[in-house]
Amino acid sequence: MISARPKFSAALDFVTNIPASPVVTLAGVEMAYDGGEDIFAPLDLTLSQGEFLTLIGPSGCGKSTLLKLIAHVVKPTAGTIHWWGADATGLNGHDKKLAFVFQDPTLMPWATVAANVRLPLDLAGISEASAERRVMEALAHVGLSECAMHYPRQLSGGMKMRVSIARALVTEPDLLLMDEPFGALDEFTRNRLDADLSRLCRERGITTVFVTHSIYEAAFLSTRVAVMAARPGRIIETYELDHSLVRDASFRLQSGFSDACRVLSRALVDASLPGAEQ
Ligand SMILES: Nc1ncnc2c1ncn2[C@@H]1O[C@H](COP(=O)(O)OP(=O)(O)O)[C@@H](O)[C@H]1O
Ligand SMILES: [Mg+2]
């Protein structure tokens, strides 16, 4: 993994004050689907408490697979994955919570917004009174308190995505994994949800790994961006951004934001060139 710090740090006030305790550690991880080719060159990645890491890179480089490895949805064929210092094979007994948000909000159409958000609590056997309170808190966080009794068909695409985020937050996750969650939304809605997401993750200290095709979204949200290339899938550059800056609408007007967009845009072009494939 190359850390391209000097060039970027000048433009973005590079900081090193992200707390060091690792949330997830991948060491020498390899992975193949059903006896197929290896997806990754042996992959190393350390995720620190409270950081917002964004993965960008060309289609097929393994971003979704990397999220699934972190979530332990798929198993590595070599190497180790540790969650909070413990081997990920012991996840069942782990007290840490993970939430996964996909591009499609996948709501139950026959159930109200409140019932959709309550689903993970119902599955976990949380008492009704406690679940109701947590559902209403989560809906308030995403600005949907008024819609608790609505059905998904009554909501816009952006509102459905908010429900999906509320359903992830209701479990009070320690680690949030998001795979192109706002990719299907218009830019205006996406910008608003990005600002909300940044605020929520910051307020709650949630460690997040986020996948996007948008360098603007990456530059806006992240404390760190990892640029991946394909065949084999690998992280070719990482960039650290000043996470002390609040990511609100005014952040988009700052020179640091446009500098970051320019550098990430260039890095993504380089990662997509045929020469980036080995
Ligand atoms: N379920 C699967 N079975 C077999 N191959 C897969 C599966 N999912 C992804 N792949 C392959 O793994 C590689 C990485 O895919 P993926 O992680 O989806 O990349 P990305 O999210 O960056 O587009 C691709 O070559 C893809 O075709
Ligand atoms: Mg993907």
pLDDT digits (tens, 9 = 90+) for 195-244: 989 998 998 899 999 999 999 999 999 999 999 999 999 999 999 998 78
Q: Are 87 and 188 within one domain?
A: yes
Mean per-residue pLDDT, 101-126: 93
Picking from 111, 142, 172, the residue at the C-terminal end of a domain is 172
Atom of ligand 1 nearest to the CA of 233: 14
Same domain, 155 and 185: no
Pocket test for ligand 1, best of 65, 70, 209 (most atoms within 8 A of CB): 65
Pocket lined around ligand 1, Cβ cut-off 6 Å = 33, 36, 39, 57, 59-65
Same domain, yes or no: 205 and 92: yes
In terms of domains, do 150 and 161 share one?
A: yes
Q: In this structure, what CATH number is given to the domain that contains residue 87?
A: 3.40.50.300
Same domain, 230 and 215: yes
User: Which ligand 1 atom is the nearest neighbour of the CA of 179?
Assistant: 21
Cα(69) to ligand 2 centroid in Å equals: 13
Whether 202 and 264 map to the same domain: the answer is yes
Model pTM greater than 0.75? yes
User: Looking at the structure, do residues 9 and 53 belong to the same domain, yes or no?
Assistant: yes
Same domain flag for 80 and 110: no
Q: Which domain holds residue 243?
A: 5-96+174-276
Nearest Cα residue to atom 18 of ligand 1: 64
Question: Same structural domain for residues 54 and 38?
Answer: yes
Query: Which one of 146, 172, 198 terminates a domain?
Result: 172
* Residue whose CA lies nearest to ligand 1 atom number 26: 60
- Residue located nearest, by CA, to atom 25 of ligand 1: 60
**pLDDT for 277:** 61
How much helix, strand and coil, in percent to the nearest 5, is found in the chain? 40, 20, 35
φ/ψ of residue 193, rounded to 5: -65, -35
Count of structural domains within the chain: 2
Point out the ligand nearest to the CA of residue 179. 2
